[in-house]
Structure 1
């Protein structure tokens, strides 16, 4: 990449004219937390937007060998034509695939900070009418036609003779529109300027853009980090050399720079955008979707496929993870001259939506990426792949897990060999055996050598003596930074021979010396490949994660428990895998607030149960003698009742105000006169009146319902509340137990999805409770696993 000029704003370029309108779908979901006695108007449930759950997709470090960039451009010859049909996850454009089954189409709502999804059914109106013979009448209209077309387009690639592909040719034809470059920099208003030594500075656009990157982070922990500040200022000074202040100001000291005017302006813009009406936000989204539409899909072997990360990341400041030595460095603007695209040989080469020409155009059908470039901070390759639900991604995932399953047939022999080599007279063999033990038993990553300017992260083969402490008789204490600068700190009891070997390996070495100085990742993987084709240290990690998960599920799953009890057992098994693989996370900032909300929910349910009990007592005093109704809720005293009812009242008023605003918005959009504020005032007064009745009931031990119900119905309602209270308490326990464990990483990358599918079928748990819509689309090949399937 060319110097600091890449950090500057791109000049205005013509946007593509091929933009297509993107449609947005909306769905309603039930709200099971409605207060017991809302007023008439407010009791109508306002429509709620469906919350989409996105799961992270593996980064470049997780890619297969076949996806690495070629050594040189070329047009590889094909070894015979193999038709590869693909499946797309798109629902918005022309029909491509069959929709998931009814059970898989439920809306999935993920509570904040949790790895457990809660499924809520969509309201889709009345059920289809049935004929006299009991069969449903055929659907009519465009929707039915679209579903029929999608049914025809479904391609079940995993049923092919060789579903995972042959490892060479990945496609025959590939057409796409390249990548979407971010828009050029828009200068700040002339009155918004950073200050140096208390005086405003007139910066050119190129330097102002970089200053703005820092200004936006002014009140974040990054701005308080010395390494972050040092790296930012160093790179910014390089930009200032080429684009110095227009007023001649000499910027030399970071401490004299004041970016607050920029920060305040940006915060004001955020607030302004947040305050836009729904209609205005929709218009902005529509315009954005139209610009991006040409890049969201490609055509692979004659089928439309959704592209995954088609957007080029905008310039900014590198943040990194943990104590990365380059955090704060300038991520320069990526231009077409930096990007290599991979496309079919006879396809039309797309024109980039930013000024410039592609670095290179290749036609390599042995890899699955559409574009790649090298980012300037760590010199890492960045790729554009197809979306998670594509057939190529599915084949890669299926191949990975099948390879891990295949290891089951070889693992006993491998373990016997390396345990024998633990006592080998050849030091290289003994170190290799010790490394294999650590990779197999402790699930350590193999590790690679790092440069001086990279984060000091290590794996098994790159451990230094300082990272392992010996505690007789056979305990090893590990303390090092693993992938993504996540600390690995564990005390582990190991085989006595492994402990003895470690003591030998550390002899006559300093803390900075390599512990396993005769082992290299490449040689280790070559050795493993001798046992089984394609076997690497990474396969061991996947194998042990899935095997551990299967064993934990078999041991801990309650056959007769509630759904939530089963979900807790599932998450506990996943936590065991996450601990094994060191999938840690810092406690979410919102954890305490989230736990408080869950606690409030439990108290609200107990309040509703108390009111229903009082209603029962009013119907017949004999209920007071029944044990299940006699005892008061332990934490619902008079102060709690006041707090709960006040909160209920505020929520009802908020709902009424939002509904009123939405109704007026719709009227304005239809060119009709909006409702007068008196309508809202009337609704709010009704709410006040309803809650005045609740105030009168406080402390009396009496309660009434707006509509009378028989005692049997009230008993049923209390039973349901008991179930909901028990479920909510279990969710709290699960949330607290997993606050420092990342469950998503193992679920996406290390656990064979067929284990989860089979478990859900065996224990009658809806799959949507555990797999988001994204994962259902990512693992279609796994959804047909039978209840008795085992890893």
Structure 2
């Protein structure tokens, strides 16, 4: 049935284009579907079989830089690789296959009774790795039960606990309300701390909750587009919590604002009473290229206007980023903007002043520009440490006034106070506008938001601000509109600020509140999976997918201006492949244009529904959920709880699952590293069970090689120490047994020679760098440099080490080293080495297990940080093992708000 044949009642609620489903589902259709699908061999529902996104071979991956001066380079280990998993692990798992082969899965089509074809087959054919027991922290050696069955049971068990807990919470609350009017009043008052006040108002009259959603909308809409806000009735005074005494010698140090202890505001829409800041920092003006550095067109050096030359420089400076500059879309968009600028600014000219028509991108040669910028880059890198420190100090001094603002009389850290410099837009994933020119932002485009009584920061000389506002319901300090997508950019407070902390707190409290209602929501959508109305059935199926598989709700996109990314409600026909009896393959561009690929097993009714939603005459381009959009879905969810939206499920499921898993742990006498691994194992399971996963990173194998070499290096050191014992007391061989002195099986001769060469080079590098650093210091203090002869003398120990290794290899004996050498001293050293090896093995096993899981993402964004704090306290592990300094500042509220609560629960 085409859309033109439908009545008004049959038209889709969200979109009116394409083929549309019938409004009602006849029982005969359901019966026919039941007969068509054989569910006798159905896989257990609710788990992921294979996950994505897929890494393309051509994609550049930025490797994280490391601090320090002497980092070990990876070298292929010639010995047997260390097995970090239990010996009972399944030997046929994908973990045993080299990374390159794991990502080059066969292009064989997925068998299906539909004409669906996943993106994986249409494009590269490379599929992500399958889920493995090792990656999920599950023991695969206890029985023959399939992994999917184990995961399904574990997930079902957690959901059962959630159902019981929800009923228990409501029963407790209902019992308390029935007690006495006084108790009821007290209960209501206490609920105000975490619940929106509208919760207690009758339906139809409730105001919008002052939750995180409202705050985000306030911050993301320019004042020119907001409706007039009502004036607050008077000022609300905030009393800070009693300040702790400052430590001796730090009288000027400010105590952090303990907003979680402060009284609540009467009007939470008012974000500040007074606000003072110094605006933004603009990037430096463009420095023209030297006259001898020109862009070449068809071999001819051309002269451009400064504006066009700057754009040419953007492309020329990034020639080494082949992933971008060799991308046809990137080239096309750049060339269109570049030639437009050339024409608008007088055109390109040769050395004689004749105009040169630039018509073909392939004739452009940016090498002279690249070589110029690359040379400047190398010069910057070659500067002395003193020069780098001086430049950093000058930069810090310049930025100092912008780093903080005065918010209601207290200092708060500002986040992104720097205006983005011009350049070429890269985007993420397959963004259609990659390569377009990001224009320079001027003060005339910027709106300043500041207190009425505050001094407005002065714009750069000769310029003026677009506008100055005094909106105390917004949390942004400055705002402008960028030219690529027309999006608004905001200067906000830093992640560790009290405002951001309160936003995080509200997010997790909203997820905690969902605990009370999750059983009713799941019961209702399970029932509606068989609803007669198509709109109800589509909504129930969408909520099922969002709850079970952490799909984002998705919003409609303007294909001309935005990347064609989708979520659950905006899935198209081609994004979902059906694999009987109950496997669904999702393959689409998700958030930030990152490819989302997931094979999941679903409830048989969900499989039937998706098959129904894809019935002919639907085809590629048609919406699967054609009678549903994100707004309607979230509006339905607010019937259960004020402020509930699809994104809350992601936070709730991660936090509740983590809470359940942590409760099952028992504190024992394990080492700190083993306890950290326990926590990471739970975090990993959360990512697997809640479908927050990733494909194995391109650098994982190299990282594991490095760890293998480090472990073997300590083993070799231990063997040498044992040989030194024999050198002192040969009788120890009989006492300890010959086997105790044998070389480990994985320390092969070829690897030992390679390792010895590495140790020699490492020592040489350390001496040379120390010598250079000492000379730098002498020059800075106005003294003479040491002569090269001094370095030569210092390097003599390197030659001695090289000779020592050659002798050991020849004689198979190691002479004792160090002053006052003794058997006891060496035995103590060996014991410490054993501890180091054990710790490194645990770390390596942990990293191997984490290869398919982005632990940081779930820990920072989805798992309530108070759960991590509780674990750290209960297991006596320093919080530094889980949160970096930046995260400790971001989650100060979580660390300090429950410092006296040993029994806090999510």
Q: TM (normalized to structure 1)?
A: 0.81
Alignment equivalent of 1:626, drawn from 698, 721, 736: 736
Inter-CA distance 593–61: structure 2 relative to 1 (3 Å threshold): farther
SS state of the match for residue 145, structure 1?
coil
- CA shift in 2, pair 1:316/1:660, >3 Å: same
Q: Distance in 1 between matches of 2:215 and 2:846?
A: 32
Could you tell me how far apart the structure 1 residues matched to 2:749 and 2:577 are? 57
Q: What secondary structure sits across from 2:577 in the alignment?
A: strand
The 5 A counterparts of 1:53-64 are 64=216
Q: Distance in 2 between matches of 1:611 and 1:219?
A: 45
Q: Is the 8 A contact 2:333 2:434 kept in 1?
A: yes
Question: Structure 1 residues 354, 257: closer, same or farther in 2, change over 3 A?
Answer: farther
1:179 matched residue in structure 2: 280
Listed as ranges, the gaps of 5+ residues in structure 1 are 1-27, 34-59, 88-95, 100-142
Which of 709, 716, 721 is residue 600 of structure 1 equivalent to?
Answer: 709
- Residue 703 of structure 1 corresponds to 815
SS of alignment partner, residue 341 of structure 1: strand
Q: Relative contact order (C-alpha < 8 Å, sep 6+): which is higher?
A: 2
Q: 1:80 to 1:149 in 2, by over 3 A?
A: same
Per the alignment, do residues 418 and 666 of structure 1 end up closer, same or farther by CA in structure 2, a change over 3 Å counting?
same
Aligned ranges 1:499-648 → 2 under 5 Å: 499-508=607-616, 509-555=618-664, 559-579=668-688, 583=692, 588=697, 590-620=699-729, 621-622=731-732, 625-626=735-736, 629-648=740-759
For residues 327-342 of structure 1, the aligned pairs below 5 Å read 327-342=434-449
Matched residue, 2:484: 377
Aligned to 2:333: 231
1:334 deviates by 1.1
- SS of equivalent to 2:356: coil
Q: CA 1:607 to 1:354, structure 2 compared with 1: closer, same or farther past 3 Å? A: farther
- Does the 8 A contact of 2:653 with 2:690 survive in 1? no
Tell me, yes or no, if structure 1 residue 492 matches structure 2 residue 627.
no
* d(CA) in 2 for partners of 1:638, 1:471: 51
Map residues 472-483 of structure 1 onto 2, 5 A cutoff: 472-483=580-591
CA shift, 1:401, in A, is 0.6
Q: Retained in 2: the 8 A contact 1:86–1:392?
A: no
1:64 is paired with a residue of what secondary structure? helix
1:304 to 396, 407, 411: 411
1:106 equivalent in structure 2 = none
What is aligned with 1:405?
512
Q: Secondary structure of 1:409's match?
A: coil
Partner of 2:249: 145
> SS of 2:489's equivalent?
strand
Structure 1 residues 695 and 708: CA distance shift in structure 2, 3 A: farther
More divergent stretch after superposition (166-175 vs 709-718): 709-718
8 Å CA contact retained: 2:70, 2:762: no
Alpha-carbon RMSD across the aligned residues, in angstroms, is 2.8
Q: Which SS does the other structure have where 2:406 is aligned?
A: strand
Counterparts of 1:117-132 in structure 2, within 5 Å, are none
Q: Distance in 1 between matches of 2:447 and 2:327?
A: 35
Alpha-carbon distance, 1:263 to partner: 0.7
Tell me the equivalent position of 2:348.
245
Q: Superposed, which structure 2 residues align to 1:134-173 within 5 Å?
A: 144-146=248-250, 148-150=251-253, 153-162=255-264, 167-173=268-274
Tell me what 1:360 maps to.
467
Match of 2:232 among 59, 75, 78: 78
Per the alignment, in what secondary structure is the counterpart of residue 612 of structure 2? Answer: helix
Is the CA contact 1:168–1:366 (under 8 Å) kept in the aligned structure 2? yes
Secondary structure in 2 aligned to 1:251?
A: coil
1:443-498 CA distance string (max 9 Å, x none): 11110001112212111111112212222332222221211122222222212222
Match of residue 774 from structure 2: 663
The reply on whether 1:441 has 2:593 as its aligned counterpart is no
Indicate how the Cα distance of structure 1 residues 654 and 325 shifts in structure 2: closer, same or farther if over 3 A, else same.
same
Q: Deviations over 1:752-774 (max 9, x none)?
A: 11111111222232221221110
Contact preservation (8 Å) 2:239, 2:263: no
From the superposition, tell whether residues 631 and 80 of structure 1 become closer, same or farther in structure 2 (CA, over 3 Å).
Answer: farther
Q: 2:217 aligns with which of 56, 65, 71?
A: 65
CA contact 1:373–1:382 (8 Å) conserved in 2: yes
Distance verdict in 2 for CA 1:354–1:443, change over 3 Å: farther
1:570: how far off?
2.7
Which residue is equivalent to 2:829?
717
After TM superposition, the structure 1 = structure 2 runs for residues 173-212 of structure 1, keeping only pairs within 5 Å, are 173-212=274-313
The alpha carbon displacement at 1:73 in A equals: 8.5
Quick one: structure 1 residues 631 and 763, their matched pair in 2 at CA, closer, same or farther if it must change by over 3 Å? farther
Aligned to 1:162, what secondary structure does the other structure show? coil
Q: Distance in 2 between matches of 1:376 and 1:557?
A: 55
- Give the Cα separation in 1 of the matches to 2:659 and 2:297: 61
Q: What's 1:422 paired with?
A: 529
Distance 1:66 1:86 in 2: 25
Rg comparison, structure with higher value = 2
CA distance in 1, matches of 2:367, 2:239: 54
Distance 1:390 1:720 in 2: 43
Q: Distance in 2 between matches of 1:68 and 1:242?
A: 34
Displacement after TM superposition at 1:63 (Å) = 7.7
Distance in 2, Cα, partners of 1:380 & 1:630: 68
Q: Counterparts of 1:186 and 1:572 in 2: how far apart (Å)? A: 52
Kindly state the Cα deviation for residue 688 of structure 1 after the two structures are TM-superposed: 2.1
